[in-house]
Structure 1
Amino acid sequence: MDVRQLQYFLAIVDHGGFGRAASALYVSQPSLSQAIRGLERDLGSELFHRVGRRAVLSAAGEALIEPAREAVRGLETARASVAAVRELREGRLDVAAMPSQAVEPLTTMIGAFSGRYPGVSVAIRAAFTVPDVVELVRTGAVELGLLATAGALPEKEVVSRPVGRQRFVLVVPPGGPFADRGSVRCEELAGQRLIVGQRGTGMRAYVEALRERGVEFTVAAETEHRVAVIPLVLAGVGLTVVTESWQGLARRAGARVLDIEPETALTVGLVSRRTRLSPAAEAFVSTALPAGSREP
């Protein structure tokens, strides 16, 4: 067994099949299949059930995912440690982020990091909920995760470092409801048409909490594509509640951004595994966070 075989195995898992994995790895499908057969011989178990042209993970394959990610991540950390001797002139850092936090503060964080370590590329994985981010970090699919929660930052399976707070704001079209206002009380959203995210997201939790308080509204659109929210507002579909990280983009697009009273905010945190960070991740934390926030 070698790390290359494990990388091939994980590529099949992550890309959903041999063909897509082969394309992503820039190898031929026969070469990929041969490497997996060799890995299966070494382990003495089939990792995939071949169902027609599909490959379905076996129980043994499921059990291998997390140890394989550990091994691959360990090799990447070792390589990064060598690169650190060359002052991080090269390398890669994998970060998962929820949509709003990918706008800010992740953009500013990466800007500061890339300015100091331009040779290290940052790969951003999308994660829509706090459990999604924690799972990607816990399993080693990424090394760092950026999330926001209405409650306490997760501590059970990851190490959390506080980043700051993001309050909720209301985005409305020019000439639409409340467009001549600077703020709105949450009760005034009663009877409005709202654009919401999918369940499990902060923006969805906020409006569901309103409904529990008796503020009734109509869901005009529900979208997993957060980039569609502002265009939907500008098209007159409805209003939307998002975190303040979106306000710059919303205003530049021509929308109006209003404060919501009383203020409600999410706590933003940067999470990592309970293991030693790679030099690139350590440098990212050191560059991105204030000194008092770097240690959990």
Structure 2
Amino acid sequence: MSRIAELLGCRYPVIQGAMGVICNPEMVAAVSEAGGFGVLGSAFQEDAEELRRQIKAVRALTDKPFGANLTVLNPHCTEMAEVMMDMGLKAVTTSAGNPGPLIELLKPQGVKVLHVCPSVDKAVKAQAVGVDAVIAEGAESGGIQGVEAVGTLVLVPAVCDAVEVPVVAAGGVADSRGFRAALALGAQGVQVGTRFIASTECIAHQSYKAMICDSSETDTFLVRRTEKILVRVLPTPLAMEVRRDPNRGEAIRRQDIGRAWIQGNLEVYTLAAGQDVGLVHEVKPVARIIEEMVAASAV
């Protein structure tokens, strides 16, 4: 069994990435029911009780293991962590910052921590502060990135060489070829985001899913949200504006993400997606996505 699958208690080492406000309980539960590891998102949440309600909703749909993501940049991150511990989650992913303080809070309660790392240096530092695994996320991935992103093909084996904890590959994994390639590079599992947006269980608006299915591998691009943060997005008119004028990106209100991602108002927020949109051509049930991804692979 994969070290990651053993660590998380799931059948397959396929972790669903945390994707803003569209990690709805139905999709998270579907991932876990299909043998993967579903993950709730808390990056845009301000109400820790809403996270508690979502955890209860997932548990009403599955008895399989699942977790949640803690985004260090969220000022309510500690409150979210306390809810996760109180609700008995056994594993979480952390991202966008130093996981050290969270590890000091979570590890004494027996919670496993997997930290998202965009570089070898960050992975080594994460291991030093006690993470149980690192998620090596390459430049192909959608969503938040730093200014010095490295491609998955280079990043994953470099991180595997540098750390002793298990490594998860993220960025550009959308099918069985990406899954097998990740294992060949030395990873013990994969984290998948964009492919799960185009699933029947995800609450992302149909226009979001359609744009993913209709886009090519060259359509996404990086836009600047702050001096240190870039985001890989789909080419909506708003994204094109932000590309031309970085100051436009800083004016986008984070509280409008749901209006765009769930309600389909593409004038108020950009749509995150990875370069693997070029490999996604239809909306499928989560179970089918995972079944096809791990087919004919030794896991």
Give the TM-score taking structure 1 as reference length: 0.30
Quick check: which has more Rg, 1 or 2? Answer: 1
Identify which of structures 1 and 2 has the higher relative contact order when contacts are C-alpha pairs closer than 8 Å and 6+ apart: 1
- Higher strand content, 1 or 2: 1
Give the TM-score taking structure 2 as reference length: 0.30
